[in-house]
Amino acid sequence: MANQNKTPLSLDMKEVVIIKPSKPTPCEILSLSTIDNDLNLNILCQTIYVYQANHDFPNGKVELDPAYVIKEALSKALVYYYPLAGKIITFDDGKLGINCNADGVPFLEATANCELSSLHYLEGIDVPTAQKLVFDNPSQEETSPHPLVFKVTKFLCGGFTIGMGLSHTVCDGFGASQVYRALAELASGKSEPSVKPVWERERLVGKVLKEPLQFPIDKTSMAISPFWPITEISHECFNLSGESIQRLKMKLMKESDSVKESFTTLETLGAYVWRSRARALKLSTEGKTLFCLAVGVRHLLDPPLPDGYYGNAFVASNVVLTVKELNAKPLSEVVKLIKENKKLPCNTEYVKYSINMLETMRKENFRVEGTGASMVLTDWRQLGLLEEVDFGWKASVNIVPVPWNMFGYVDLCLFLPPSKLDPSRKGGVRIFVSLPKASMPKFKEEMEALKLMRGDEGST
C-alpha cells in the first residue's frame, strides 16, 4: 500500500457529533455469543469506502451533501441496529455485552485539500494516509468503547470516502456488510431495511470442555522466523488478474490427476500465499505452520441462523504441515488438504466443538499471539459491497481495509475483490498482507512469479 502522492493529504475537520437513533429504542443489556467473546476479536475494524462524484442527479434535484445524507440515514438505521448506539461493557465474569443506552455513534466530518483522483481513489494508498480517513477512536482502549464510529471525508471533486469503524466483537464481515447495506438503503430513500436485524447471540454460546485444550500447533512445535521479534511492519496490497489465477488453477489441475472436483480461487490462492509467506518469513523447516480459514456457518447450523443475524458466525478450518512438507509437496496436494478441511464446518458437531473450544479459551484467558507460523485467511469477495451498496452516488469504486491489529497484524491475510477503477481487473483478487519489512521483498518476488507463470509449466 505505497501510493506516492506529491501533495500530502490535509484535512479540515469539524467537531465530532454524536448521532442518536431517530426514535426511542429499547434500553437493555444484551449478552454476546462465545464467538463474539473471542479475545482476538475485541478490536475496532476500520474500512474505507470510496465514492466518485455523481453528476447524474435528476434534473431539478440538487446534489446533496453526503455527510448530511449519511448522518440522517445512520440515525434511522440505529432504530433497527440500536445495540450499535450503545457501549460495549464487561460483565463480572469477564464476558462482554452491550449496554443499549442510545448514547449514540461518534461521527466526524472532514474536507480534503485535493481531488480523489490525485490519491488514485485510494488504490495502493499508504497506511498513514488511509488512517487519516477513519475515525481515530480515542476510547478504543477503554472498558466501554463505542461499537461503531464514522468519518465522512469530502474531496474537491465532489467525491467522498466513508470510514466505518465497527467492533469485530459485535459483527463479522457478513454482519458488517448487512449493517452497511441497511444504511445505504435508508440513505437512498427506503423506509426500512430490506433485511431486519436479529440478535439471537444465545444460539452460539458454548460450554467449557472437560478435557484439556488441544491446539493444532503449540510453542514447542511451531516454526520460527528469524524476523521475530518484528521491528517494522510493511503493509501491502497485491492485485492478481483473473488470467493469472486461472493459469495457476489449470496448472494445478494438470499436476493432480486424482482430483474429482475443480479447485476454487480461495483454495488455490490460499495455498500459494501460505507457501509464499512461509518462504518470505524463512520459517524453520522442521517446525509446523498453520493455515487457518475462517468459514461462515450461518447456513450450516441446524436450524440455520436467521437472515438478519449480524453477529460473528464463523469457525476455523485448519491445515497443519511442517514447513518442509509445505515446500516439498506439489502445491496441488496442499490445495486438496485445504479443500478437504474446508468441509469440516459442514458437520454441526465440529461447529459445536469449535465454539466449546473458544469458550474454554475465554475461561482460561488464553489469547492467540501472532508468531508468523500461522496464516489466518478471511475472504471478503462474497460480501457484495462493491456491487450493491448505493447511497445515491452509485456503488463505491473501491474498498480499503485499514490494517487491523489482530494476531499482531502479521498472521492475518485478506482477500478482496478488485476495485472498479480498472475494468480489466474484473475477476481478479486483491491480497492484503502485513509482514516484517525485511521479509516483504521475498513475498513480492513470489507474487511476481505468479503473475509471470504459464499454465503449461512443470510442477509448482
Over the stretch 316-333, which tens digit does the pLDDT of each residue have? 999 999 999 999 999 999
Burial of 299 (0-12, 13-18, 19+ CB in 10 A): exposed
Q: How many Å apart are CA 225 and CA 323, to the nearest integer?
A: 11
Q: b vs e for 426-453, b when ≥16 Cβ sit within 10 Å of the residue's Cβ?
A: eebbbbbbbbbebbbeebbebbeebeee
Nearest CA to 407 out of 373, 444, 380 is that of 373
Over the stretch 338-386, which tens digit does the pLDDT of each residue have? 999 999 999 999 999 999 999 999 888 777 777 889 999 999 888 766 5
Q: Is 320 left (phi over 0), alpha (psi -120 to 50) or beta?
A: beta
Over the stretch 216-272, which tens digit does the pLDDT of each residue have? 888 889 999 999 888 899 999 999 999 999 999 999 988 877 656 689 999 999 999
Over the chain, what is the mean pLDDT? 89
Q: How many Å apart are CA 147 and CA 41, to the nearest integer?
A: 12
pTM beyond cutoff 0.95: no
Indicate the helix (H) or strand (E) that contains 358: helix 348-363
Q: Which residues are catalytic?
A: 168, 390
Dihedral sign from CA coordinates of 247, 268, 43, 171: positive
The fraction of the chain above a pLDDT of 90, given in percent, is: 72
Q: How confident is the model at residue 60 (pLDDT cuts 50, 70, 90)?
A: very low
Q: Is the peptide bond before 303 cis (omega within 30 degrees of 0)?
A: yes
Q: List Cα–Cα distances, 401 to 35, 80, 299, 436, in angstroms.
A: 22, 25, 26, 19
Q: How wide is the angle at C-alpha 74 spanned by C-alphas 69 and 80, nearest 5°?
A: 140
455 pLDDT above the threshold of 60 = no
Amino acid residing at 425? R
Q: Please list, in sequence order, all residues whose beta carbon lies within 8 angstroms of the beta carbon of residue 439, skipping any fewer than 6 positions away.
A: 225, 227, 280, 281, 282
Over the stretch 154-207, which tens digit does the pLDDT of each residue have? 999 999 999 999 999 999 999 999 999 999 999 988 999 999 999 999 999 999
Q: Are strands 288-296 and 28-31 parallel, antiparallel or unpaired?
A: unpaired
